[in-house]
């Protein structure tokens, strides 16, 4: 008697875990087998495994040292493949349906005229190369992207650097024939110290994620022009993967209601408002998947605080609202509006 193999191949789930770099480095190759990529915080993790892309937010971690996040395909799956883009700027690794990629880029792009132009060119180049990789491997759907740029709130040639970044990101999406609203990835954009390179890492997939917007907020791609002539290109959240076990990606979320920042100067109130926004996204995700699958209490949180001295206040506010959380990483980073003191992203 023979058993017929199921016609649909099981392709493994995406998993995120936090570990110290020392722990990761000491693991046997069986542990590394399904790893798509590793992202560290203040520095790129010292991980020299052939084929494993390494990224870093370049934001100091305030509550742990030497920590990294490990993205892996769990469960049975075909061996992963690794490669680099033509100019070796993007290192990436992929399974059949998922791809992790990372790149760093200095803003000294040849031929640039001035600081703003250099930032515009570097950003546009980064996104164009990302889209080239996604076309060549056929992981066409950008699911989640993390953007770290030096001095995000500083002025360059009369405009905030974050706004130049937005202009270039939007331009790259257009030039690559991509939508700039609706089916755009979940994202974060944070500021890093002067002199850091532009650092970007991302997850992409062969199948499309389901995008989620926050009913309490204006979609970022519909922000009015007073926040910049070119709107940011990101979704508030998305779910990707198996309909019963898919991952929820919550974009960087702040104390914004409608399109206005609220609780200026009050980091505790900003933290609480941010958690109300995250809760609204979790509710919206559950509504869209048609089940109570995600809970705000079970999220893995990454909390960015503008001023390290606000850490105790932010920590206490999160604990009061959520109790103990499975994973919480606190990082110091500038948030992309000067009046925002805290931003929280999450994976469920």
Q: Which of 92, 252, 273, 279 binds ligand 3EB (CB under 6 A)?
A: 252
Give, as ranges, the residues between 191 and 220 that touch ligand 3EB (CB under 6 A): 220
Q: Closest Cα to residue 152, out of 337, 290, 315?
A: 337
Stretch that binds ligand 3EB, among 87-95, 197-205, 247-255, 314-322 (CB under 6 A): 247-255
- Residue 187 near ligand 3EB by CB under 6 A: yes
**Chosen residue from 12, 44, 232, 246 binding ligand 3EB by CB under 6 A:** 232
Q: Which of 125, 189, 212, 278 binds ligand 3EB (CB under 6 A)?
A: 189
- Shortest spacing between CB 174 and ligand 3EB, in angstroms: 16
Return the range that interacts with ligand 3EB (CB under 6 A); candidates 42-50, 184-192, 297-305, 311-319.
184-192
Coil vs helix vs strand at 97: coil
Give the residue, chosen from 188, 192, 199, 296, that forms a contact with ligand 3EB under the rule CB under 6 A: 188
107 has catalytic annotation: no
Q: Could you tell me how far CA 24 lies from the centroid of its own chain?
A: 21
Residues whose CB falls within 8 Å of the CB of residue 92, separated by 6 or more in sequence, listed in order? 37, 53, 82, 83, 84, 85, 99, 100, 101, 102, 133, 137
The interface mask with ligand 3EB, positions 118-157, x = CB under 6 A, is: -----------------------------x----------
Catalytic residue selected from 129, 160, 343, 345 = 343
Indicate the residue among 54 and 145 with the shorter CB distance to ligand 3EB. 145
Phi, psi of 191 (to 5 degrees): -95, 145
Binding status of residue 250 toward ligand 3EB by CB under 6 A: no
Helix runs in the chain, H state only: 21-25, 29-32, 114-137, 161-175, 267-289, 311-322
Task: Determine the Cα angle at 18 with ends 300 and 267, to 5°.
Answer: 45
Alpha carbon distances (Å) from 38 to 43, 83, 114, 150? 12, 15, 34, 21
Residue 37: strand, helix, or coil: strand
Q: Does 254 bind ligand 3EB (CB under 6 A)?
A: yes
- HSE toward the beta carbon, residue 79, CA cutoff 13 A: 5
Footprint of ligand 3EB on this chain (CB under 6 A)?
147, 187-189, 220, 232, 234, 251-252, 254, 256, 336
Residues assigned a catalytic role: 343
């Amino acid at each position: 008697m023979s058993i017929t193999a199921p016609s649909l191949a099981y392709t493994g789930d995406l998993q995120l875990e936090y570990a110290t770099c020392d722990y990761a480095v000491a693991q046997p190759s069986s542990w590394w087998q399904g790893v798509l990529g590793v992202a560290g915080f203040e520095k790129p993790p010292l991980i020299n495994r052939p084929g494993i892309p390494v990224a870093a937010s370049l934001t100091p971690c305030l509550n742990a040292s030497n920590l990294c996040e490990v993205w892996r395909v769990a469960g049975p799956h075909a061996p992963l493949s690794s490669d680099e883009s033509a100019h070796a700027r993007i290192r990436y690794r992929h399974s059949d349906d998922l791809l992790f990629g990372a790149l760093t880029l200095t803003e000294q792009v040849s031929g640039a005229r001035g600081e703003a132009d250099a930032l515009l060119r570097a950003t546009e180049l980064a996104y164009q190369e990302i889209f080239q990789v996604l076309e060549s491997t056929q992981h066409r759907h950008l699911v989640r992207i993390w953007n770290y740029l030096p001095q995000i709130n500083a002025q360059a040639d009369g405009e905030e650097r974050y706004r130049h970044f937005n202009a270039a990101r939007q331009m790259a999406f257009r030039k690559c024939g991509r939508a700039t609203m609706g089916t755009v990835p979940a994202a974060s954009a944070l500021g890093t110290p002067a002199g850091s390179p532009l650092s970007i890492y991302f997850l992409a997939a062969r199948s499309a994620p389901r995008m989620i917007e926050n009913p309490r907020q204006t979609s970022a791609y519909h922000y009015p022009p007073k926040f910049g002539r070119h709107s940011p290109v990101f979704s508030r959240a998305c779910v990707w993967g198996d309909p019963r076990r898919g991952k929820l990606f919550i974009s960087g979320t702040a104390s914004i209601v409608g399109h206005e920042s609220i609780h200026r100067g009050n980091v505790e109130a900003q933290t609480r408002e941010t958690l109300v926004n995250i809760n609204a996204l979790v509710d919206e995700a559950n509504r869209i998947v048609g089940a109570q699958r995600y809970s705000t209490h079970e999220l893995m949180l990454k909390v960015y605080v503008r001023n390290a001295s606000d850490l105790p206040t932010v920590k206490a506010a999160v604990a009061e609202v959520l109790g103990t959380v499975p994973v919480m990483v606190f990082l110091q980073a500038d948030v992309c509006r000067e009046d925002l003191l805290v931003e929280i992203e999450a994976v469920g």
